[in-house]
Structure formats: C-alpha cells, structure tokens
Amino acid sequence: MTDSEVLHAEHRLEYPYSRSTGPVIGAFLTGLREGRLLGATGSDGRIIVPPTEYDPITSDDVGELVEVGPGGVIESWAWVAEPLRKHPHQTPFAWALVTLDGADTALLHTVIAPGPDALATGDRVTARFRPEAERIGSMSDLEGFVPEGGAS
Amino acid sequence: MADEQTDAAGPVTMLATPIRLDFEFTPGIAQSKFLRGLERGEFLGQRCGTCGKVYVPSRGTCPTDGVPTTEDVLLGNSGTVTTFCVVNVPFAGQSIEIPYICAQILLDGANLSFMGLIQEIPTDQIRMGMRVEAVWVDESELIPSLASVRYFRPTGEPDADYDTYKEYL
C-alpha cells in the first residue's frame, strides 16, 4: 500500500455544554450585551471586575453591581504575533490585564493594536464592543480594547 | 451558539460553552485497507499467519501473537448477531430514530465482531444468533467509511448454532 492510499481525515470531537450563569455573572453578561461593563462591590468596598459571586477574601456575598470603564489602564500584556484558530482574533493582537476606570482588579481580555511597538504597560485603552445586533450575552460581546484616542 | 443564549430581551441566565478538539486522524495502513474495501462495497479483513484468526477490521497486528497480519482476506456480506442492545433513550446528536438495535456482528469467516445497526425487524424480535446481511448505500455513494453500510437486516436463514459464536461474546 502506498502512502497515497493511507487515509487521512479531519476529526472534530465536540461537547455542546451549556452552563447556568448564576445571578452575578448573568448580570455581567447582560451588561456586556447592553454594551456596559459591570463590577461587583466587595465587602471592603473594592470593585471587582469581572464580578465574582463571592468576595474572594471574606467569602461574603458581593454587594451592588456598578458600571465601570469603558476606559482603563494596561497593567500587563503579551503580544500574539501568530494567532491560532481558537484565538478571539485572527490578526495579531495582545492579551492584556486591563484595570477599568472605577475598578480595583484587572480584567483579562485583548487589545487590538497595529503592533507591539504601539503598546506599553500603563497605556490607556478603551472598550470596543461588537455591533449591538451581534451581541449575544457573552464575553466575546466585548471585541477587545483599543488604544485611547483611536490610535488603531 | 446564539440560540443557546437567553432570549434577547431577558437577563442572561445560560451560556453556551462548547468544548472542541480538532484532530487530523489517520487510520494507518491496515485500517486504510479495510476502509478502501468499504469504498468498493466489500468487507476486507486480515489473517494472522500464526494463529489463523481473521480480524475485520484489522489493526495490522494480531493482538494474541503480536505479529503483523499480512494476508488480506475478503469476507462475505453475511454474519451472525452475537449480542445486541435496543436503544430506547434519546441523547444529544442522535441521528437514528429510536427505538433501534445496535448489535455486535460476526461476519462469516471472521474471528472478531464489530458493531452495526440492525433494521427491517421489530426491536422485540432481535436475538442472539440471528443471521444478518449488510445493506450498502448505492454504488455512487460508497465512501471509505462504515457509513457505506446503511445497516444489517435479517437474512431469514435459521439462527446460527450457539457454539459457532460463543467465543465472541
């Protein structure tokens, strides 16, 4: 049997899980669908973004959800020069920890920028949402962050 | 994915989180032969040169003797149901209408059974030892996959003797 007679095929293994969001994550995702970013108030008054259901230090229920952003500051970032199929962007982008205005913790998301030279820790960025009709109540409703002032 | 989400007006309560792995699968030389056989509408197995057992599909080696199976054996279209299961439970991704019969089929001349769908018989009439034959898709639709076998159906022959398949349960 020659090599050309040995078969090859694409094979996809997929489990179509769905999970309940709970009240806090559900409210956060509902906010994303509305183009708003929400954080939860911890027992010491810190604003936790993305919100958790429980205060990570005291384990108490979190308090009121408050709107944060859409602007924020890059705390740390990594450039992805060759995105993989499963990545949220198919052109080069950065993973980044962004502390939104009004928040006390950083959110892991992406920054869309022309290249790594256009980014620095401490830079200001702003949220870019997908068009309203495309939003489904998912983290991907937030397309990513872009440098403030529209550099990209 | 969007249909898994909560309706557009209400608050979000559910999130679709599919887990997906993409593979490039190769069945190797022996199973490629078996699959090429299916593409011609044939069951092609391999015989072990040491113990003489015929495997279909063959993995290219004899699991008992640990030697390569190099002799190809063309098998017929008929076999015997060794054991079976009637599926009554619906599940996600089910492509066959329930209830249906899933059976282990030992082709005549083979020493290894494989799983097949049984049709053209009420589910309460299936039994161990029943003689069945493969029903293939139209010649133009044959592909190198077990999907080329639409299903197996009873031949109407008398049931096989228990002794002929008792080693394959």
**B67, B120 contact by CB (below 8 A):** no
- Measured between CA atoms, the residue of chain A closest to residue B28 is A6
More confident position, A47 or B1 = A47
pTM higher than 0.90, yes or no?
no
Neighbours of A34 (CB within 10 A): 14
Q: How far is A123 from chain B (nearest CA, A)?
A: 32
pLDDT at B2 over 60: no
pLDDT at B4 over 70: no
> Could you give phi then psi for residue A119, rounded to 5 degrees?
-120, 145
Nearest CB neighbour to B26, from listed A6, A13, A33: A6
ipTM: 0.77
Model confidence pLDDT, tens digit, residues A31-49:
999 999 999 999 999 999 9
CA distance A55 to A41: 8
Neighbours of A116 (CB within 10 A): 14
> Could you give phi then psi for residue A110, rounded to 5 degrees?
-115, 155
- Measured between CA atoms, the residue of chain B closest to residue A23 is B13
Task: Determine the average pLDDT of the residues in A108-118.
Answer: 95
Of chain A, the end-to-end C-alpha distance in Å amounts to 54
pLDDT at A152 over 90: no
CA distance A5 to A134: 45
- pLDDT over 90 percentage in chain A: 82
Give the pLDDT confidence score for residue B88 in this predicted structure: 94
Nearest CB neighbour to B27, from listed A7, A20, A27: A7
At A150, is the pLDDT very low, low, confident or very high (cuts 50, 70, 90)?
A: low
In sequence order, what are the residues at sequence separation of 6 or more whose Cβ sits closer than 8 angstroms to the Cβ of residue B43? Answer: B34, B37, B56, B74, B75, B76, B77, B107, B110, B134
Task: Determine the average pLDDT of the residues in B50-72.
Answer: 94
CA distances from B131 to B118, B120, B162, B166 (A): 11, 13, 12, 15
At A2, is the pLDDT very low, low, confident or very high (cuts 50, 70, 90)?
A: low
Nearest CB neighbour to B4, from listed A6, A13, A18: A18
Task: Determine the average pLDDT of the residues in B124-139.
Answer: 97
Give the pLDDT confidence score for residue B6 in this predicted structure: 47
Cβ of B28 and A6 within 8 Å? yes
pLDDT at B149 over 50: yes
Helix (H) or strand (E) holding B164: helix B162-165
Give the pLDDT confidence score for residue B24 in this predicted structure: 92
